[in-house]
């Protein structure tokens, strides 16, 4: 008897498949590998279509894959004992995350959830460790990731203490345009104002006001289906301008 279940009804891990050549080429670290290393990674990599609301990984579950976003948008968050959710950051195209968890083979301390339909790739943790043991290029990529991630979370702690909504939006946008962590974004980030509101922790209306102010200053341009950065340095330094009263 033919099953009535559609592909989207299946758990995310059951939807995984090998990558197409174009999807493989979109992975930022794949070109850093030697031919034998690249072949091993390509044989192991899997990709799946995540629907809005799907969890890529959950708090407390042991790590099995190192994940990256080929297309779409994810959010990283945690839940406290009172059931309240704190969002740390978004993960746009080109972003790979969880390398610290994968290196220590520990359980996730955060949730990763799709905000929209997304293509999520995964490299098994055993292959991740094999590449660490054999590939200089891969090691350098992971070290750069960890260094940038440290700076990102230090900045996130600072943002959490800010009360100015314009500054919060500016700094969160700057983080999403990080060219090292998210090389697939380029200058145009595909994101809605509601999605940005989820990541920043403000209302959509207040995010709209902040984007209008940033556009008037020439830092960004709001376009159909996304936000184009015109001056990334201005977004990153927005807080300092505000502190100096400029």
Question: Where do the domains of the chain lie, and which CATH numbers do they carry?
Answer: 7-147 (2.60.120.10), 162-243 (1.10.10.10)
Query: Confidence class of residue 234 from pLDDT cuts 50, 70 and 90?
Result: confident
Can you give the pLDDT at residue 164? 81
Looking at per-residue pLDDT, the higher value among 242 and 147 belongs to 147
Can you give the pLDDT at residue 205? 95
Query: Confidence class of residue 243 from pLDDT cuts 50, 70 and 90?
Result: very low
Can you give the pLDDT at residue 3? 39
Of 139, 74, 77, 85, whose CA–CA distance to 108 is shortest?
77
Q: Calculate the average pLDDT of the chain.
A: 87
| DSSP E strand boundaries for the chain | 46-50, 55-57, 65-71, 74-79, 85-91, 96-97, 111-114, 118-124, 188-189, 220-223, 226-229
Distance between CA atoms of residues 11 and 56, nearest Å: 10
Q: Is residue 201 scored above 60 in pLDDT?
A: yes
Pair of tokens at residue 1: 């008897």
Q: Is residue 154 scored above 80 in pLDDT?
A: no
For residue 87, the cross-strand partners are 77
Looking at per-residue pLDDT, the higher value among 244 and 52 belongs to 52
Asked if 152 and 181 touch (Cβ cutoff 8 Å), the reply is yes
Can you give the pLDDT at residue 94? 94
| DSSP E strand boundaries for 55-207 | 55-57, 65-71, 74-79, 85-91, 96-97, 111-114, 118-124, 188-189
Looking at per-residue pLDDT, the higher value among 2 and 79 belongs to 79
Strand order in the sheet with 220-223: 188-189, 226-229, 220-223
Looking at per-residue pLDDT, the higher value among 35 and 157 belongs to 35
User: What angle is formed at CA 184 by the lines to CA 24 and CA 201, rounded to 5 degrees?
Assistant: 130
Q: What's the pTM?
A: 0.84
Query: Confidence class of residue 244 from pLDDT cuts 50, 70 and 90?
Result: very low
Q: Is residue 55 scored above 80 in pLDDT?
A: yes
Can you give the pLDDT at residue 130? 98
Burial of 200 (0-12, 13-18, 19+ CB in 10 A): buried
CA 120 to chain centre: 10
Asked if 169 and 210 touch (Cβ cutoff 8 Å), the reply is yes
Compute φ and ψ for 50, nearest 5 degrees: -100, 130
Asked if 228 and 191 touch (Cβ cutoff 8 Å), the reply is no
Distance between CA atoms of residues 185 and 92, nearest Å: 7
Distance between CA atoms of residues 219 and 234, nearest Å: 6
């Amino acid at each position: 008897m033919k099953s009535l279940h559609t592909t989207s009804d299946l758990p995310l891990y059951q939807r995984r498949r090998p990558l197409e050549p174009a999807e493989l080429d979109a992975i930022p670290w794949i070109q850093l590998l030697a031919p034998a290393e690249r072949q091993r990674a390509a044989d192991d990599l899997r990709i799946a279509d995540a629907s809005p609301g799907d969890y890529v990984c959950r708090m407390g579950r042991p790590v099995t894959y190192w994940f990256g976003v080929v297309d779409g948008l994810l959010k990283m968050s945690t839940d406290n004992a009172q059931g309240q959710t704190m969002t740390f950051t978004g993960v746009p195209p080109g972003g790979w995350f969880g390398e610290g968890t994968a290196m220590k083979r520990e359980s996730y301390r955060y949730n990763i959830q799709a905000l929209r339909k997304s293509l999520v790739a995964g490299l098994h943790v055993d292959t991740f460790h094999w590449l660490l043991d054999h590939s200089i290029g891969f090691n350098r990529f992971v070290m750069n990731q960890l260094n940038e991630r440290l700076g990102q979370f230090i900045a996130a702690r600072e943002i959490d203490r800010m009360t100015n909504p314009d500054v919060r939006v500016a700094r969160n946008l700057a983080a999403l345009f990080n060219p090292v962590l998210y090389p697939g974004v380029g200058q145009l980030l595909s994101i809605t104002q509601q999605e940005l509101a989820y990541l920043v922790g403000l209302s959509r209306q207040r995010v709209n006001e902040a984007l209008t102010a940033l556009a008037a200053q020439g830092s960004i341009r709001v376009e159909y289906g996304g936000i184009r950065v015109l001056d990334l340095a201005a977004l990153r330094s927005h807080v300092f301008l505000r502190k100096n009263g400029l």
